[in-house]
Amino acid sequence: MSKATLSFASQRWLWKQCSSQSTTESSILDEVNLPEDDNYKTGWTKAAHFPSEIHVELLNSKAIPDPYVGFNEHKVQWIGEVEWLYKCHFPFDTTLNHGHALLQFEGLDTICDVYLNGEKILATNNMFRTYDHAFSLTGGESLLKADNTLLLHFKSAKRLAKAEEEKYGKVRAGSTNLGDPSRVYVRKAQYDWRWDWGPELMTCGPYRPITLTTYDVLIKDVHARAFADIQPDGSFAASLKVNVTLSGTSAPSNHVLVVSLSNQGQDLVSHRILPEKMSLGKSSGDEVIYEDAVSFNDLEGLGVQLWWPVGYGDQPTYTVSVALLTQSDVEIDLKTKRVGFRTVQLIQEAITEPDQYGTGTSFLFEINGVRMFMGGSNWIPADNFLTTISDERYRAWLTLLRDGNQNMVRLWGGGIYEPDIFYDICDELGILVWQDFQFACGVYPAHDEFVASVKQEAEDNVKRLRHHPSIACFCGNNEDYQQVLQWGGIGGLPARLIYEHVLPDVVSRLTDPPIPYHRGSPYGGKDWDTSDPTVGDVHQWNVWGGKELPYQEYDKLGGRFVSEFGIPSMPSMSTIDYFMDGSDKSQYYAQSQLMAQHTKAGSFERRFAIVMNENFKLTSDFETHAFNTQLMQSEAVSYAYRVWRREWRGKGKEYTAGVLVWQMNDCWPVLRPKAVFYTIARQLAPITVGIFRTVLKNRDNDRPRQFYEFGAIQSTHASLDIWATNGTLQTRAAKLELKFFDLHSSDWSHSETREVSLLPNQTTELTTLLCPGPGREGVTEGDPLFVSSATVVASARLLDVETGIVLARYSDWPEPYRFLEAPDAGLKVTLEEGDEARLTVTVERPAKCVFFSVGDSGAEPKWSDNALDVVPGDTQVVVVKGLNGRQVKVAYFGQENAQNVKL
């Protein structure tokens, strides 16, 4: 008989707050019979959604204000202190002649007692695990009746964490901005306790699906193992092996397995496993495991193609179907997996030719035999309320990442293991996934009960994710090793047992072909020195935090793989207006109470003051300041990508093999890209051009090398290093065009060109020259204008030698920007209306960070490019989707308050 599955998403759920006197099991069960009531404290309220989270239900009932707005976060803290109940009445067909039932909970957040018809069947304490409760439907009275009640009792994770801390001791868990350190004792998303970018919202509820399946026999698991054997000439052989696990009591010889591989609904190959072969499985309890139930070889001859990361090829995926049939071909069960054929290796080999840091080892990803520079982002959960993240929101975020030329996303260890749809989309878009296990910035325990729960958590998620071609790496933790060295006063790291034994064992045992495992991020160096730039990966926080160095020093602060770095900025004025929610205009300044509420980083006022004062003119105009923080972030982060990617210098000299910015997305409900998104995209384009300006000075100094100085230290002239990166796998001929413009006067410009050849998959150094500048009569030494290059913008373009198409462009402006008087750019914009509108942009004088917006609260248009640096004679075109006739606004350096574009 075929299995039968009931999805609890289709059932009627109710919720309420536990009564204060409900401290015993009997008193909890007594609440089941309370009536429905508009008052969630005295009766049951109908759930608006399922899966469900309690904050979302309270919001829907208008019982609490929006925690993302104003100071409302602090008005809802009581929710995490109390206990909550969910219940569901559901029917069961008692005439079904099945022998087994499986009640499966894919995600319970977090401390939950589960009752079925008044009997406690589960006690959960790990948000990241899938909990199964199996029971027999034969041989006695069953728990399942014709009418049933499922009751979920969610206890306070916050209170349990403090109780565990009292039991095991208080530990260090990051700075005071990373939530209460007791969080390490509870397997719950760590950012719920607060982080230095997000609010404290202690959620609870059945946040992922619940199902009831009855069966005699079913397919418990399918392990589809897609292999690619890459040859030196680029050819490959593709094969597939499939392990199948059956669960139940029916004799295997009564059944048939049909395993097939298909592409877009068309079978490429299929194999039928007959009853006599079914007896070859290994038995374990009521499970039978068929290892290598089928092996399909030479699949390349059937048209199977390799799966590639975005930018290197297509992303074909194939469906593996396993059908369990009766001998008369009646389907009992069916499971499918989508797989891709690719290889992935994390290459850590000796570097013999030193860079500025020394030799050490590489840290690079090789896919299908091709070494690739990883440019991407870190990812945090896209909302504090996980049930509100629709498939469409995931697709919007990840498509944005892909369209920004990013090929890797790192899922940070203080969030969650994302739902299947996240990884499905990454497979589709060609985005590689670095998956942290869920540990972040803490001295985690390693007592037996905790380790056992973590092991099961890891097995659940590795099994769930291992078939995805996008999975490039599993990583043990985020910054747990680093904190020991960074903060001191930590005697040991008990969870090394987990990171160095439990997790690598799970990954190696359950993945085939193997998926790389990295102990922690960052990790490397002698005695796991996490700051060693020659080994492993590094997190570079000595600009925004730590030593608070100028961002112009990023080129000296790299490493073999920079898996975290970044600088924040203020959001757009539309976003600020949203979370200000009509507050008094007196709050519209950078250091106001409401801005502090929405800027969680420690000492953010002082950090912003340092970097903004070093680089920009002080201003009391709020919109100008907000724009300048975005310009600062854009300049700093894109500079880091530019100079670190420069260190991808060819095989054996992959000195920096990846850069992942903190962070791509946000848990605050916004999707409005800042200027930095577009400048990163340009730095990660297949072909780029870069300029590094070194300003020569009259004496030794500790000032940024790019800064012109006119005080105790005097600048004399500047040199320019110019290079290109070619991320393609072919040599590319190009024409380098250099143009120079004076910000002080439109009377002078200079240009020169040369033919260049860009080596494949690496950087090519193109030229070094003195920065030219205008001669100025009557200007003597000591006058800032005497240093003629101090007002010169240097612009570089790479052009296709045959078509003249622009392959890459970059403009280098003199720094610091606080010394500059931006000229009237003479900006002209023409608009061609349509579903995809086209903005054509020209200038008469150089313009920096020309940023287009619509300035309203509606859906953000999709701009093909933005935050443009534009120079005379270099027309740029921006394609816009979703403009829908709205007024376009523009702001840029020197005109920071957005104005309507005059078309």
Active-site residue numbers?
Answer: 479
Q: Is 506:549 a contact under the CB 8 Å cutoff?
A: no
Q: Which residues are bridge partners to 89 per DSSP?
A: 149
DSSP code at position 350: B
Closest by CA to 240, choosing from 291, 297, 322, is: 297
Token pair 């190009």 is at which residue?
734
Bond preceding residue 686 cis, omega within 30 of 0: no
Write the CA distances from 218 to 1, 3, 77, 293, 900, integer angstroms: 10, 7, 44, 16, 63
Peptide bond into 51 cis (omega under 30): yes
Half-sphere exposure (Cβ direction) of 22: Cα atoms closer than 13 Å: 21
How far apart are the C-alpha atoms of 859 and 205, rounded to whole Å? 30
- Whole-angstrom Cα distance, residue 561 to residue 647? 11
3-state secondary structure of 76: coil
Tokens of 736: 């380098």
Residue carrying structure tokens 């439907």: 137
Q: Are 401 and 309 in contact (CB under 8 A)?
A: no
Gyration radius (Cα) of the chain, Å: 30
| CA-CA-CA-CA torsion sign (480, 157, 456, 341) | negative
Please give the Cα distance from 521 to 681 (Å, whole number): 24
Helices 604-615 and 622-645 cross at an angle (nearest 10°) of 80
Torsion angle, CA of 35/41/42/44, rounded to 10 degrees?
Answer: 0
Separation of CA 335 from chain center: 29
Determine how many CB atoms are found less than 10 A away from the CB of residue 149: 16
Distance CA 483, CA 258 (A): 51
Phi and psi based region of residue 657 (left: phi greater than 0; alpha: psi -120 to 50; beta: remaining)? alpha
What size, in residues, is the chain?
903
Distance of alpha carbon 806 from alpha carbon 799, whole angstroms? 5
Question: Which residues make Cβ contacts (< 8 Å) with residue 603, sequence separation at least 6?
Answer: none
Q: Measure Cα distances from 1 to 142, 143, 703 in Å.
A: 19, 21, 78
Q: CB of 66 within 8 A of CB of 59?
A: yes
| Tokens representing residue 313 in the block | 């090829």
| 790, 814 Cβ separation under 8 angstroms | yes
**Three-state SS at 5:** strand
- What single letter denotes the amino acid at residue 298? D
Residue with tokens 């150094």: 765
Q: How far is CA 856 from CA 631, 669, 889, in A?
A: 21, 16, 10
Strand partners, 370: 367
Structure letter (DSSP) for residue 41: T
Q: What is the C-alpha separation between 468 and 340, in angstroms, rounded?
A: 7
| Burial bucket for residue 489 (CB in 10 Å: 0-12, 13-18, 19+) | exposed
Asked if 111 and 124 count as a contact pair (C-beta separation under 8 A), the reply is yes
Query: Are 723 and 765 in contact, with CB atoms under 8 Å apart?
Result: yes
Cα gap 310→403, rounded to integer Å:
10
